[in-house]
Structure 1
Amino acid sequence: MSASEVPDAFHHVVRPAAMPGSPPLVLLHGTGGDETELLPFALTLSPGSAVLAIRGRVSEQGKLRFFPRLADGVFDEDAVLRHAAQLARFITAARELYGLAPPIAVGYSNGANVAAAILQQHEAVFAGAVLLRAVNPLRAEPRASLRGTPILLIAGASDPIAPPGLSEDLAATLRNQGAETSFRTLTCGHALTDEDAESGREWLRA
């Protein structure tokens, strides 16, 4: 199988592992980002990991996303489910193509939200997740078991887009699916900080 033959292909970049045994990372950017946005973050998080960095293919006023929204914080759940399913299929096929072990999702903002949708609805796509500034984009009943899956959620105390309370609600949903969730609130807003990367690195080590 070639990259062009991967089902529901997304534009992406792949970085091979620099250290055997490091968990592969799937990078999912925020609104207005692209496949390069989280590459520096990933180098701090787990410098030896293979990386599959994916570009969202939904455009909102010229800004790339992984699924459309009706307004800030208002989601079209049918669209979320459809786009999450397409992304899940692509990640599964890309793993086979590139010979990747079960990966850790690293999602920021919209990328974290689409990762959360995949975690709720599709089993065995991710071995774990780091969800940065995430909220739950779904009211649909979760279908997937996350028994024993480690997930870290990091919120910003002054984040007006993904306030800590909504991130905690998502953590509870994932915990009810069996995930081993960790939740941290940092003294920051919606933008990522060096402390996000350090917190994620400590979590991965543990």
Structure 2
Amino acid sequence: MTTDSYIHLATRPDAGAPLVFAFHGTGGDERQFFDLAQNLVPGAGVISPRGDVSEMGAARFFRRTGEGVYDMDDLAARVAKMAGFVAAHKARNPGAPVYGFGYSNGANILAAAAMARPDLFDRIGLLHPLIPWYPAPVPGLAGRKVLITAGRRDPICPWPQSRALIDWFGAQNTEVTTVIHEGGHELLRQEIDALADLFAPGRQRPVSAKETAA
């Protein structure tokens, strides 16, 4: 794969700064979180791809056959393509830490890519992800910093599946931070603040779900 596998926006990082990959939700595009990523990590190189699957005109990163029902063969192919895209940008910026965050469908492709290629991302922000299967263990994720946010009344990402994903990442010995609020699929300020904390230089201690509950 190459750095041009997707339509995307990109900036080069300052010396010593990380690369930040931003993945939009269904119906978004490469502009949805590009400015946010630049504000979260000043000086970072930001790479924001557009999903190359159309669902009735809405851009996505992989196909589904219904709400919460994924085309798993297509997902596997799209994950391989995305992993190659990330790896190509990583190779172009040797030594730069690599961070990623995504919302909804963007969180799902990021999570699946990190499971398939745990070497790609150093810090991972998953905003309202939905992983409707129980992944096999991925020992290579140990030590990664992971943020997962969720709404207990989210009609798209049911809370029991969010809870299962949080537990799964914990079982991989990642440093898991969570923000759980009582709302639905909307993003709250507390989630963005937690994402900024995840990407802050020198972050050391994982924060508990209780400490960050919105």
- The answer to whether residue 55 in structure 2 is matched with residue 60 in structure 1 is yes
Q: Does 1:123 align with 2:118?
A: yes
Conserved 8 A contact 1:119-1:144: no
Q: Identify the residue that residue 10 of structure 2 maps to in structure 1.
A: 14
What is the percentage of aligned positions where both structures have the same residue?
A: 33
Cα distance, 1:7–1:37 mapped onto 2, change above 3 Å: closer
1:58 Cα deviation from its structure 2 partner: 0.5
1:161 is matched with which residue? 156
Shift, 1:95, TM fit: 2.1
Question: 1:111 — aligned with what?
Answer: 106
Structure 1 stretch displaced more, 61-70 or 46-55: 46-55
Instruction: Provide structure 1 residue ranges, at least 5 long, that are not aligned to the other structure.
Output: none
Shift of 1:77: 1.6
For 2:136 and 2:21, how far apart are their aligned partners in 1? 25
CA contact 1:77–1:138 (8 Å) conserved in 2: no
Computed over aligned residues only, the root mean square deviation of the Cα atoms, in angstroms, reads 2.2
47, 51, 66: which is aligned to 2:46?
A: 51
2:192 alignment counterpart = 197
**TM-score, normalisation: structure 2:** 0.84
| Bigger Cα displacement from structure 2, 62-71 vs 37-46 | 37-46
Tell which deviates more after alignment, 189-198 or 129-138. 189-198
> How far apart in 2 are the matches of 1:98 and 1:11?
19
Structure 2: runs of 5 or more not aligned: 204-214
Question: SS in structure 2 opposite 1:145?
Answer: helix
Deviates more, 1:118-127 or 1:171-180: 171-180
SS of match in other structure, 2:27:
coil
The alpha-carbon distance between structure 1 residues 142 and 59, as it changes in their structure 2 partners (threshold 3 A), is farther
Name the counterpart of 1:85: 80
Q: CA deviation at 1:24?
A: 1.7
Residue 70 of structure 2 is aligned to residue 70 of structure 1: no
CA drift at 1:35: 0.7
Is the 1:66–1:110 contact (alpha carbons within 8 Å) kept by the matching residues of 2? yes
Q: Is the 8 A contact 1:85 1:118 kept in 2?
A: yes
The alpha carbon displacement at 1:137 in A equals 4.4
* Contact 2:27-2:58 at 8 Å conserved across structures: yes
Q: Secondary structure at the match of 2:78?
A: helix
Contact 1:8 1:89 in 2 (8 A): no
- Deviation readout 1:145-169 (Å, 9 max, x if unpaired): 2010110001123321113332221
AA matched with 2:9: V
Which residue number in structure 2 is paired with residue 180 of structure 1?
175
Tell me the amino acid that sits aligned with residue 9 of structure 1: S
Deviation at 1:114, TM superposition (A): 0.8
Which whole-Å CA distance do the structure 2 matches of 1:47 and 1:163 have between them? 34
Asked if 1 retains the 8 angstrom alpha-carbon contact of 2:25 and 2:103, the reply is yes
Q: How many residues align?
A: 201
Report the CA distance between 1:181 and its aligned residue.
1.4
Q: CA deviation at 1:194?
A: 2.7
Residue 112 of structure 1: CA displacement? Answer: 0.3
Residue of 133, 140, 145 corresponding to 1:145: 140
Q: 2-side partners of 1:21 and 1:196: how far apart?
A: 26
Distance 1:69 1:149 in 2: 29
